[in-house]
């Protein structure tokens, strides 16, 4: 049984997307991912036309199941920047009752970052934590390595337990290192892109793939 909610809205759109996925499958060569992991990696490649993500994408063993469960039960998504929230399909999110949040441009976040000589991304994650959005929620970081490092600090020092972290910040300062640090966690599920490559597009792609897996699970359960 095919998905409905997490597909393109028009037949033409669906045909183009499915043809693109077929091309990726044909050209990618060998990969070591499970079938469910490949749904995410394939969307990452589709969104960037970059086959290096076959290998750069890595998964905690519990990542897929944790993501499906979080989205299926309407857990909140907190992002480091608004681009992730804007890029996500609202009809797909609404189907599962999922809300998105980001605080990077809030006045109090900016003021505190200036006062404490930290980044806005750090203060945005702290605000989300104070509001209770990160606990058992899904965290998506595609831009700010400092946000990812702050989430790791909250886990280790303040006992935070998010459902899943999608950590894919892009850049040259601490981007690769922040993802390496996240991958050291064994008690919190994560999905990362190794090295300097990353970006909000990848986080959006990963979440859309998880939403598709969640719908497939939902429809299978309903049979």
Considering the candidates 18, 32, 46, 60, report the single residue annotated as catalytic: 46
Name residues whose C-beta falls within 8 Å of residue 221's C-beta, 6 or more positions apart in sequence.
Answer: none
Q: Give the residue extent of every domain in the chain.
A: 11-222
Q: Which residues of the chain have pLDDT under 70?
A: 1
Name residues whose C-beta falls within 8 Å of residue 118's C-beta, 6 or more positions apart in sequence.
Answer: 112, 146
**60: annotated active-site residue:** no
Per-residue model confidence as pLDDT tens digits over 150-175: 999 999 999 999 999 999 999 999 99
Give residue 1's pLDDT. 60
Check residue 62 and report its DSSP letter. T
Give residue 220's pLDDT. 82
Give residue 5's pLDDT. 82
Give residue 162's pLDDT. 98
Strands (E) in 42-185, as ranges, are 57-59, 77-79, 100-101, 138-141, 164-167
Give residue 112's pLDDT. 98
Q: Which CATH architecture group holds 11-222?
A: 3-Layer(aba) Sandwich (3.40)
Distances (CA, A) of 104 to 9, 57, 91, 141: 31, 26, 24, 12
Closest CA to 81 of 204, 189, 175, 163: 204
Give residue 219's pLDDT. 82
Per-residue model confidence as pLDDT tens digits over 78-90: 999 999 999 999 9
Give residue 159's pLDDT. 97
């Amino acid at each position: 049984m095919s998905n409905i909610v997490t597909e393109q809205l028009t037949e033409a759109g669906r045909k183009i997307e499915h043809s693109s996925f077929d091309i990726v499958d044909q050209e990618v060569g060998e990969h070591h991912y499970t079938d469910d992991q490949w749904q995410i990696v394939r969307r990452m490649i589709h969104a960037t036309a970059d086959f290096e993500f076959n290998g750069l994408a890595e998964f905690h063993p519990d990542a897929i199941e944790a993501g499906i469960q979080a989205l299926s039960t309407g857990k909140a998504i907190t992002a480091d920047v608004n681009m992730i929230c804007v890029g996500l399909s609202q009809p797909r999110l609404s189907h599962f009752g999922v809300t998105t949040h980001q605080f990077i441009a809030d006045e109090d976040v900016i003021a505190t970052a200036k006062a404490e000589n930290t980044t806005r991304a750090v203060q945005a994650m702290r605000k989300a934590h104070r509001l209770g959005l990160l606990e058992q929620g899904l965290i998506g970081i595609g831009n700010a390595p400092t946000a990812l490092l702050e989430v790791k600090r909250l886990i280790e020092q303040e006992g935070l337990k998010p459902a899943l972290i999608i950590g894919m910040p892009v850049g040259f300062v601490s981007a690769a290192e922040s993802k390496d640090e996240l991958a050291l966690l064994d008690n919190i599920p994560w999905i990362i892109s190794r090295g300097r490559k990353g970006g909000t597009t990848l986080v959006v792609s990963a979440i859309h793939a998880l939403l598709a897996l969640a719908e497939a699970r939902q429809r299978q359960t309903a049979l």
